[in-house]
Structure 1
Amino acid sequence: GVEPGADQLFSMYIRSVFGPGNSGFDRIRLHSSSSVPIELVSFREGSEAQLRTGTGRDLWPGPLELERLEDGSVELAFPAPVTGGRPLYQARFRTRVFLSGTTFGAELKRATRPEIVQAVSAGDAGSLAASQSLVVVADVENFPLLDRVRLVPQVFTPNGDAINDQAEIRFTIYRLIRARQIEVGIYDLSGRKVRELSLHRENPSGDHSVVWDGRDDAGALVRPGTYLARVAFAADVGAGKTQAASLVGVVY
């Protein structure tokens, strides 16, 4: 297993096999079942012996172009289509795991035929991989669904001078596998909500950050004082809400 929430290095091996009529590919997208971004470290091509000894040909950094997508995945663009042979690729990347079973995957595409996506299947790409599975396992059962809510900074001054003008609400979610509405709100100490900051996440497990600019829902700056930042969501259909909160101070 892997350590939940810790930044870790993973390797994925991809071998292309071309059947009759296959037009090849010039894009490879690497993705996971989590919303946590994938940070590509290297992408190489070579034989098993070359990749084992680190002497494979560097494609990134190198001739391939890298695009980081909004869903946390990355896409590599080849300068020319790959249309034959049995090339073996090694993708090394860093990310964090917040689910008991996180699935990594890859898709091959051709820019001139974007409607055709070839999903990479788990299997025996070579003897280099410790496992032929695309799923990594982490023991997250002892982790809370919602880690503590943190305010950075805990006191801020939204006076428009571009210094300490915003507060960032940070929190971490573990073990959720379906899309959720995550309620984020700012309340005064009487319990009245002054700002709605809720968000929807298709893959809610992972780190989250929401910025508050010190204004209420009408766009006016709130009065100086202490406020409560509250995060809540339904753990399962029909179940009660999981919630946590933290104080934040506004001064002028």
Structure 2
Amino acid sequence: GVELTRVETQSPDSLWVRFPFSLNDAASSRSHTLIEVQFESQNFRDGIEVASFVRSTDSEEGVFQRVDADTEDATELVDSSTARVSLAALDGSLLQEVVMQSVFTPNSDGINDELTVQFTLLKVLEERPLEVMFYDLTGRLVGEGESATATGTGKVGEQTFTWDGRDLSGNVVAPGIYVCRIKVEADDKDNESMRLVHVAY
């Protein structure tokens, strides 16, 4: 294979590459060269279409031809010529890759004062109610995480919440062990993930 040159653009949802050779130089007038481009991407939802466009370097800037993958297969060499992503079935929750500190110290010394909760939300088709709550070991609600988006809803992708260690009245909670509950409301049932966090100061 040939390593392609990536073209730097201002499009965060697109990948632009340039072939270092003419694709159809060796092809007859009634045939076309078959090209396979392999790439990796991170997808969080089923059915996302990977659209492709090609342009000759001899054509006008910005004039592209769309690669049509809906009506016919490009080649019999692959099992499927679909351009839509199909995610593997999940064994568990829509909430995946939960990362957070096990200990934080909300004593206002500027070091580890805040708890950061990061996770990935998968497969939801639209924004869903999303919350991160904190409970003491008796089950009493003591705090609420603040979303980076501050909307109270989440869509597929990476999510970040923070907690400053204060209760619902604005007071710093006592040192001890607390339960972090992450919950997303889904159509069939709510999905939850639990973690323990230690407050120390």
- 2:97 paired with 1:157: no
Normalised TM-score (structure 2): 0.60
**What is the rounded CA distance, in whole Å, between the counterparts of 1:154 and 1:68 in structure 2?**
37
**What is the rounded CA distance, in whole Å, between the counterparts of 1:196 and 1:246 in structure 2?**
17
Q: Say which of 154, 167, 172 aligns to 1:222.
A: 172
Q: Say which of 93, 105, 109 aligns to 2:39.
A: 93
Q: Which has the higher strand share?
A: 1
| Residue-by-residue CA offset, 1:181-206 (whole Å, 9 max, x unaligned) | 242223242214444434421xx2x6
Match of 1:167 in 2: 115
Match of 2:5 in 1: 60
Amino acid across the alignment from 1:153: Q
3-state SS in 2 of match to 1:92: coil
Task: Give the alignment's Cα RMSD to 1 decimal.
Answer: 4.3
Match of 2:186 in 1: 235
1:104–1:134 contact (8 Å) kept in structure 2:
yes
Going from structure 1 to structure 2, the CA distance change for 1:194 and 1:87 (only over 3 Å counts) comes to same
**What is the rounded CA distance, in whole Å, between the counterparts of 1:221 and 1:117 in structure 2?**
59
Q: Say which of 160, 180, 184 aligns to 1:210.
A: 160
**What is the rounded CA distance, in whole Å, between the counterparts of 1:139 and 1:149 in structure 2?**
16
1:166–1:211 contact (8 Å) kept in structure 2:
no
Q: Say which of 155, 171, 180 aligns to 2:127.
A: 180
Amino acid across the alignment from 1:214: D
| Residue-by-residue CA offset, 1:13-65 (whole Å, 9 max, x unaligned) | xxxxxxxxxxxxxxxxxxxxxxxxxxxxxxxxxxxxxxxxx1x4x4324xx22
| Residue-by-residue CA offset, 1:205-224 (whole Å, 9 max, x unaligned) | x6x34142525599x67334
| Residue-by-residue CA offset, 1:230-251 (whole Å, 9 max, x unaligned) | 2222221xx5422232222222
Which consecutive unaligned segments of at least 5 residues does structure 1 have?
Answer: 1-53
Q: Say which of 5, 10, 16 aligns to 1:76.
A: 16
Offset of residue 105 of structure 1 = 0.9
Match of 2:28 in 1: none
| Residue-by-residue CA offset, 1:112-147 (whole Å, 9 max, x unaligned) | 76xx98654214334654421224545416x12334
**What is the rounded CA distance, in whole Å, between the counterparts of 1:213 and 1:117 in structure 2?**
48
Offset of residue 77 of structure 1 = 6.8
2:146–2:161 contact (8 Å) kept in structure 1:
no
Most deviating of 160-169 and 224-233: 160-169
Offset of residue 154 of structure 1 = 1.0
2:98–2:119 contact (8 Å) kept in structure 1:
yes
Which consecutive unaligned segments of at least 5 residues does structure 2 have?
Answer: 26-31
**What is the rounded CA distance, in whole Å, between the counterparts of 1:144 and 1:215 in structure 2?**
29
Rg larger in 1 or in 2?
Answer: 2
Amino acid across the alignment from 2:191: T
Going from structure 1 to structure 2, the CA distance change for 1:137 and 1:120 (only over 3 Å counts) comes to same
Normalised TM-score (structure 1): 0.50
1:171–1:209 contact (8 Å) kept in structure 2:
yes
